[in-house]
Structure 1
Amino acid sequence: MNRKIIHVDMDCFYAAVEMREQPEFANLPLAVGGLSSGRGVLTTCNYLARQYGIRSAMPTHRALQLCPQLVLVPPRLSLYREVSQQVQAIFATYTQVIEPLSLDEAYLDVSACETCHGSATLIAEQIRQDIYNCTGLTASAGVAPVKFLAKIASDLNKPNGLYVIKPEQVSAFIETLALEKISGVGKVSIEKLHHHGLYTGGDIRRAKRDKLQTLFGKFGEMLWLRCQGIDERAVSNDRKRKSVAVERTFAQDERDKSLVVERLLALLPELRRRSEQHLRQAKMNKLGVKVKFADFQQTTKEQQCQQIDESTLVELFHQAFARGKGKAVRLVGLHIGLAYEQQTESAQLSLPFSD
């Protein structure tokens, strides 16, 4: 409870950058990604678009049904990376203990920071102000003594807000905390939790630890610890990428298997380009193909592999395509898995979150 952790999350980052660059869009519902034809999915959207029920990862055609006047702009990743680097540089003026989660969010451990008399609350406020002064963009932040609570807190006063959970407030906060707010609790697990009468952190706190382990395995153990306020994970700046992927959504659903294979293999140069820098620090350990069908059902086929092999990809695609039983294809994708030499056996056996 002596740690001071801040989770900073930029507000609708990609959309905010686009509104900054194109002020005429500032008061219009706007989304980044997708295609004007209605194909693809949205990467993100601004808060005005969210008032229509539009959300990230929503199919474009559905978003246009909800808001026909929605402005669609293509993503500009190089620009977003440039702005992200500016934000990261601001973080580094307060602490070197930074754990980026993506271009638009990061954990910071400011336990040893003496700025603002060591007050994590004031540091978070100053960081948010520095970001606005430097980029013209707003950020929300959460402050807490443990990581999972800092992340939850950053979402409570969005946009452009701050929420602080002091050590002495942890127990009361968790008591009424909805379990779906905890990272790693997804749709399937929340249904099972509700089935057993577990809805809040308080319910978990009063449950028997061994019973939760019996019902939910390692997930139950993690949940019990979180709801006791225990999260010993340190803010770490050595996070490693586990995969590299590239995908393409077709302008029209396609049933011709040979044509889909052709478009799939056309993604190979981009996959190799994206993989190149990561394969300097890691080894490739798997190769995979993703297929999304016209009804939005999707499937993935993977195989242990140490190099990008065209014939293997084609075979994996045929296996994935067969699962559609003749359905047209909407999207195809390729990916590789990455492994690092320092990984221990216990790390390899750890269960990844699915959400």
Structure 2
Amino acid sequence: MSQIIIHVDMDAFYASVEMRDDPSLRGKPLIIGSLPHERGVVATCSYEARKYGIHSAMNIKEAYRLCPNGVYMHPNFDKYRAVSDQLHQIWNEYASATESIALDEAYLDATEKAGSWENACAFAHTIKRRTREELGLTCSVGVAYSKTAAKTASEEKKPDGYFEIPTEEAFVNLILNRDVQVLYTVGKKTAEKLNRSGIRTVRDIQTRQDEVIRLLGRQGQWIVQQALGKDDRKVVAYRPEEAKSISRELTFQEDVEDFDFLKDVLVLLSLSVEKRAERVGLYGEGVHLKITYSDMKTITRSRLTASTRSAAAIMREAARLLEQVQKRPVRLIGVGIYHMTGEMYRQVHFDDLLREPSTEKQDPLQEDLERLHRRYGLDFAGNLDKIFHGETLYKTVEYMRKHK
């Protein structure tokens, strides 16, 4: 029997928990994130607030302009994690493996426990009923033959929805004439790139496969597979908060006092972390920096982020953390990601709410590599994979230190 996957996605999770606990908030436009007088963005909002055009990651001042009479509040992550634990207790009863994507979202492998398509669909309805009766919350659930199709199904009838996609043919027929962004791996920038070439629908992707791959490379190959309904990925059983971090560190042959040089080293360390995270298929929802000074005192700094394994994002956050530490001779530097998750998590974390939405260029990492080329005469073209094994990274950094 082919696999049967259930995708569960809670409806406006943070806002729904707050409205459950404070009934006076029900029916009101509730915005979770920064307060209107603060710098930052929206983490999530109630469906009433969405009617005003408010959405996740919107600048909080723009949200206030659209809805000055809304209720604005900071998120309470301790409360949301406690509710998430209760949700997982329910989900685990109906799956041989539960892959938690976020506090409020998971894939469930129901193949073995259900034994049939009909039983899996019954499981899905039971999950919805128990979530409502036991926790006072609603969720949208999709049942499908693959992870991609299950996620699409759960979004089909939101909120409080239920939808089934039993076969590849059913999936393709459902999405064929829809915008390319119906594929969850196609974000705004990728869609714009495809649109500029006249590729606007899933049908366009199917009929112009070679062009999509030429435009987007390896990402394009996966997008084409999604558009064809092909996805044999398994549900990986773990909770992100229980997973270990992924990190890389270096001990210098001689202590380093030049913090601009340390920022350059962070570029290579961040690339190394990205490669390791890609190999195991994980993302981190936080970045941490480790420094050991010449007197052997070790300090660490960390901050939550939107989930990432991008070297550019890791480098950016690590550089910010580096600016916060005492400037004295450094013996060791390390960087890593933690709070691991299985997919890109689009909901915004609280620490991100205090910064303005990014206006960075699309490929800041390339600028970092070009800077390293100018400063040290190193040519990384086609050689990045080679420097992350054994002593090669250490030797590369020592070369940089001697030739800066």
Post-superposition CA distance 1:82-121 (Å, at most 9, x none): 1000000000111131110000100111111238885322
Q: Does 1:112 align with 2:76?
A: no
CA change 1:86–1:162 in 2 (3 A) is: same
Structure 2 residue 238 is the aligned partner of structure 1 residue 217? no
Q: Any idea what the Cα deviations from partners look like across 1:255-289, whole Å, max 9, x if unmatched?
A: xxxxxxxxxxxxx98738x8xxxxxxxxxxx9755
- Who is 1:5 aligned against? 5
Give the residue type in structure 1 aligned to 2:183. I
Once residues 139 and 57 of structure 2 are traced to their aligned partners in structure 1, the CA distance between those partners, rounded to angstroms, is: 21
For 1:11-56, what per-residue CA distance to the aligned partner results, in whole angstroms no more than 9, with x for missing partners?
0000000001111111211111212424322211100011111111
Structure 2 CA distance for partners of 1:225 and 1:309, relative to 1, 3 Å: same
- State whether residues 115 and 123 of structure 1, in contact with CA within 8 Å, keep that contact through their aligned partners in structure 2: no
Amino acid at match of 1:183: Y
Q: How does 1:191-210 map to 2 (within 5 A)?
A: 191-207=192-208, 209-210=209-210
CA shift for structure 1 position 70: 0.8
Q: Cα deviation per residue 1:216-271 (whole Å; 9 max; x = unaligned)?
A: 21122111211221112111124656445489xxxxxxxxxxxxxxxxxxxx9873
**Is this contact kept in 1: 2:148–2:231, CA < 8 A?**
yes
Q: Which amino acid aligns with 2:172?
A: S
In 2, Cα distance between equivalents of 1:15 and 1:269? 33
Give the unaligned 5+ runs of structure 1: 248-267, 275-285, 291-299, 313-329, 333-344, 350-355
Number of the residue aligned with 1:142: 142
Q: TM-score, normalised on structure 2?
A: 0.61
Tell me, yes or no, if the aligned pair for 2:39 and 2:355 is still in contact at 8 Å: no
Count of aligned positions: 276
Seq. identity, %: 35
Bigger relative contact order, structure 1 or 2 (CA pairs below 8 A, ≥6 apart)? 2
Aligned position for 1:229: 229
2:16 equivalent in structure 1: 16
The CA distance in 2 between the partners of 1:124 and 1:217, in whole Å, is 37
Distance 1:75 1:99, change over 3 A: same
Mapped to 2, the partners of 1:165 and 1:178 lie a distance apart of 19
For 1:186, the equivalent position in structure 2 comes to 187
Indicate the RMSD between aligned Cα atoms, in angstroms: 3.4
Q: Are 2:302 and 1:271 equivalent residues in the alignment?
A: yes
The C-alpha deviation readout for 1:112-170, integer Å capped at 9, x for no partner, is 12388853222111111111111000000112111112112211111101111121512
CA distance in 1, matches of 2:65, 2:207: 45
In 1, the alpha carbon distance for the partners of 2:99 and 2:14 equals 20
Counting only pairs closer than 5 Å after superposition, residues 22-41 of structure 1 correspond to structure 2 as 22-41=22-41
Which stretch of structure 1 is more off in the superposition, 9-18 or 58-67?
58-67
SS at structure 2 position matched to 1:271? strand
Unaligned runs of at least 5 residues, structure 2: 246-282, 289-298, 305-312, 329-353, 357-384, 390-404
- Whether the 8 Å CA contact 2:98–2:108 is kept in 1: the answer is yes
One-letter amino acid of the structure 1 residue matched with residue 22 of structure 2: Q
Distance 2:222 2:115 in 1: 34
Please state whether the residue corresponding to 1:55 is helix, strand or coil.
Answer: coil
Query: Residue in 1 aligned with 2:327?
Result: 311
CA change 1:140–1:269 in 2 (3 A) is same
Deviation at 1:310, TM superposition (A): 4.3
Which whole-Å CA distance do the structure 1 matches of 2:231 and 2:134 have between them?
33
SS, match of residue 112 in structure 2: coil
Query: Retained in 2: the 8 A contact 1:38–1:64?
Result: no
Structure-2 change in CA distance of 1:197 and 1:244 (3 Å): closer
**2:292 corresponding residue in structure 1:** none
Report if the CA contact (8 A) 1:112-1:118 is conserved: no
Within the alignment, does 1:156 sit opposite 2:178 as a pair? no
Q: Cα–Cα, structure 1 residues 171 and 85, in superposed 2: closer, same or farther, change >3 Å?
A: same
Query: CA offsets per residue over residues 163-196 of structure 1, 9 Å max, x none?
Result: 1112151231242232111122122221221232
Structure 2 distance, partners of 1:22, 1:246, is 34
Equivalent residue number for residue 124 of structure 1: 124
Contact 1:116-1:122 at 8 Å conserved across structures: no
Deviation at 1:302, TM superposition (A): 7.6
Give the TM-score normalised by the residue count of structure 1: 0.69
Q: Is the 8 A contact 2:32 2:42 kept in 1?
A: yes
Q: Match of 1:218, as an amino acid?
A: R
- Worse-matched range after superposition: 92-101 or 173-182: 173-182
Aligned equivalent of 2:133: 133
Contact 2:7 2:106 (8 Å CA) reproduced: yes
SS in 1 for 2:113: coil
Q: In terms of mean alpha carbon deviation, does 129-138 or 181-190 score higher?
A: 181-190
Letter in 2 for 1:236: V
What SS class does the counterpart of residue 159 from structure 1 fall into?
Answer: coil
Distance 1:23 1:243 in 2: 34
1:318-337 counterparts in 2 under 5 A?
A: 331=355
Structure 1 residues 25 and 148: alpha-carbon distance in aligned structure 2, compared to 1, 3 A threshold: same
